[in-house]
Structure 1
Amino acid sequence: MDAILPRTRAFELTDADAIQQTFTVDYGNRMCLRTEHERPAMRYQRTEAGPLALDTLVQTATMDFAIEPLDGRLVVTRSSSARLERTCADTAGRYEAGDLFLMAYPDEPYTVSFHPGGARNCVIDPALLHRVAANAPGRKPQPLRFTSLDPHSPQAAADWWATYAYVSGLLESPQPVAPLVVAHATQLLAAVTLATFPNTALTDPTAGDRHDASPATLRRAVAFIEAHAGEDISAADVAAAANVSIRAVQLAFRRYHGVTPMTYLRQVRLGHVHRALLAADPESTTVAAVAALWGFADHSRFAALFRATYGVAPSSVLRTSG
């Protein structure tokens, strides 16, 4: 996969035409904006990271949008301070500050009234969702559909927001972010979205998945992970390399290694960090830089994992290297 690097743009939009044009370009679908305010204003920031976009919206006037289908993209919205009223298909919702919801079913038109205040949008390309919940190679593709626009539960919504806050902190940082960190962050948010909102993605293994979760499957999956640990790979990529479904490869790892494929990938990457620190020059290298290169963004979590695995702090390994 090509490296994904975040890009942030910010706008001060001061009339309805500018707001409508900007949204039409960024969301890629036609829409009609109506407002009774003569000079509606909106502060709009977008951070793009490949198949994921994070939008911050703060506006001063009530705006009514009529919007065509999203062509497969999913928009997850959380109100910061605004009241939003949305209709889509046969559903209607009214949301206040702190509420989380899907803006629409991706193949349905919708309307939304956005009252003064702020909101955050997370726009997810369908390709990213399918990387997390892909079909087995050779099997008939099954479309991924969401069956509700509201989260499973308040706790699921809270978990999604905690993940979003972590991911947005990484992607919106003015400091450079390593490509593997960005890739992991985008996949993480897509996976949590599938866990938060009811959908048709299958999570329990079938009889065929149990049959496919064999030692041969595990060998193929392990070989792929070890050969591509430095690249942006997902559970779907590992499953495709092993020629089985995601559920089958997950079951194989649980049976024979007691971990998930992504946990195994993290262990392999941690081994690369350990070897790099042993070979590094402590005068010109930092632990954080090496860790980020292999996809570890949270230094405290990385340090705890490293110590639990190797019995020493990563800084100790670096100090004694060379």
Structure 2
Amino acid sequence: MSATCVFPSELNSSHAALQGWNRELDRVQDFDQVTEMVGRAFKPHAMQLRDPARTLETRLYSTRVGRLSMFFLEYGAEVKVEPDCFEGFVLVEIPLRGGGQYRCGGETLDGDTAHAAVMSPDKPVHLNLAPTLSQLIVRIDQGMIDRSCAAHLGYQPKEAVSFDLGLDLSGHAGRALTSTLRHVLDGGAGFSPLLDNPIYCAHIEQMLIDTLLYAHSHNLSHRFEISRTRPAVAPAYVRRAVEYLEAHAADAVTMDALAAAVGVSSRALFTAFRETYDQTPMGYLRELRLQRVGQALLSGDPASANLTQLALQWGFFHYGRFAQYYGERFGERPQETVRRARG
């Protein structure tokens, strides 16, 4: 595949696919206004015009696809942008025209219409963007990515997913990603109610996240390889242990009681869980309890608003530790889940 843009060459600010998007900035030249509005969309940042004699002519359009945010951005001038580290979200920046140099953590990418940048949180970001650059940007919540990763692996890894910076748009991940985004753009242009349909949007969210998890390199890619080679059928006593944990998730369960319930030694059960789920039985139980808490909070049931009582109900007797586990698992505090469910 040639190093040309994988999107139609006419995808620009006047393209029909972008007509229904929110026009945050439209040919704006004021430096402070541009810095403020782009900072609101992503993160407050420092910005510098590389050629002080040249003025900005910035376009920033935005739309939502479920819980994803999508942007069309062009500055109209060569700029240096330094947002430090992104917090809680991944940005996928796809040049439609022009290019730039992207640095994220210890990696550097010369981005162009054949190479996108995937920037994960908690890594310092530095951008040098060409005056001709137009880009399509997708913002994905890190918590959504981590939850999908756990669902695919069957357990919750201790570390968050962190992607490699460079994404070859002619490779497997690049073609799958851009194909999905073209589908969104074409659908939005031809039948805009699609973007208001929660089932459609949830499908798009999952397609984009799964594409990145399975086809683009990240720090847990090797776990996906392991999960493919791990035997699909767990030992019978492991399956019985999982059934026992699901039925007694709210009860006081000890390792010895669990082993006795399924008829093996604690050591044998511990080893089999490690080999099957890369997790201890008690770690599996904690993950199960967190899922039950999360489901209760998302249900909007008024009874779930008492967070301390809900944590106790599911076996978390130290609220501060529960809140820490919950934040690591879902990427937000329990109170934020309650507010989101009510909203």
TM-score category (smaller protein): 0.5 to 0.7
- Secondary structure in structure 2 of the residue aligned to 1:55: strand
Q: Give, as a single letter, the amino acid of the residue that structure 2 aligns with 1:167.
A: V
Alpha-carbon distance between aligned partners in 2 of 1:197 and 1:46, rounded to the nearest angstrom: 25
Alpha-carbon distance between aligned partners in 1 of 2:166 and 2:64, rounded to the nearest angstrom: 25
1:10 aligns with 23
Alpha-carbon distance between aligned partners in 2 of 1:155 and 1:84, rounded to the nearest angstrom: 20
> Which runs of structure 2 are paired with 1:194-213 in the superposition (5 Å)?
194-201=213-220, 202-203=223-224, 204-205=226-227, 210-211=233-234
Cα separation, partners in 2 of 1:208 and 1:142, compared to 1, 3 Å: farther
Shift of 1:183: 1.0
Shift of 1:44: 1.3
Cα separation, partners in 2 of 1:162 and 1:153, compared to 1, 3 Å: closer
Q: Establish whether residue 32 from structure 1 lines up as the match of residue 41 from structure 2.
A: no
Alpha-carbon distance between aligned partners in 1 of 2:134 and 2:156, rounded to the nearest angstrom: 43
Structure with bigger gyration radius: 2
* Equivalent residue pairs, number: 215
Gaps of 5+ in 1: 1-6, 220-243, 249-322
Cα distance per residue 1:6-26 (max 9 Å; x no partner): x94113132221121112111
Cα separation, partners in 2 of 1:37 and 1:22, compared to 1, 3 Å: farther
2:337 aligns with none
Alpha-carbon distance between aligned partners in 1 of 2:183 and 2:45, rounded to the nearest angstrom: 31
Moved more, 172-181 or 30-39: 172-181
Alpha-carbon distance between aligned partners in 2 of 1:16 and 1:118, rounded to the nearest angstrom: 18
- Secondary structure in structure 2 of the residue aligned to 1:68: strand
2:110 aligns with 94
Q: Establish whether residue 166 from structure 1 lines up as the match of residue 183 from structure 2.
A: yes
Task: Give the conservation status (yes or no) of the 8 Å contact 1:9–1:47.
Answer: yes
Alpha-carbon distance between aligned partners in 1 of 2:197 and 2:147, rounded to the nearest angstrom: 20
Task: Give the conservation status (yes or no) of the 8 Å contact 1:47–1:171.
Answer: no
- Secondary structure in structure 1 of the residue aligned to 2:85: coil
Shift of 1:153: 7.5
TM-score by length of 2: 0.54
Gaps of 5+ in 2: 1-19, 244-272, 278-343
Output the aligned Cα RMSD: 3.5
Alpha-carbon distance between aligned partners in 1 of 2:54 and 2:30, rounded to the nearest angstrom: 8
Cα distance per residue 1:243-295 (max 9 Å; x no partner): x9xx98xxxxxxxxxxxxxxxxxxxxxxxxxxxxxxxxxxxxxxxxxxxxxxx
Cα distance per residue 1:210-252 (max 9 Å; x no partner): 41799989x9xxxxxxxxxxxxxxxxxxxxxxxx9xx98xxxx
Cα distance per residue 1:152-195 (max 9 Å; x no partner): 78322222211221133345653354221111111111111223
1:273 aligns with none
Task: Give the conservation status (yes or no) of the 8 Å contact 1:70–1:107.
Answer: yes
2:60 aligns with 44
Q: Give, as a single letter, the amino acid of the residue that structure 2 aligns with 1:85.
A: Q
Task: Give the conservation status (yes or no) of the 8 Å contact 2:100–2:133.
Answer: no
Matching residue within 188, 191, 201 for 2:210: 191
1:105 aligns with 120
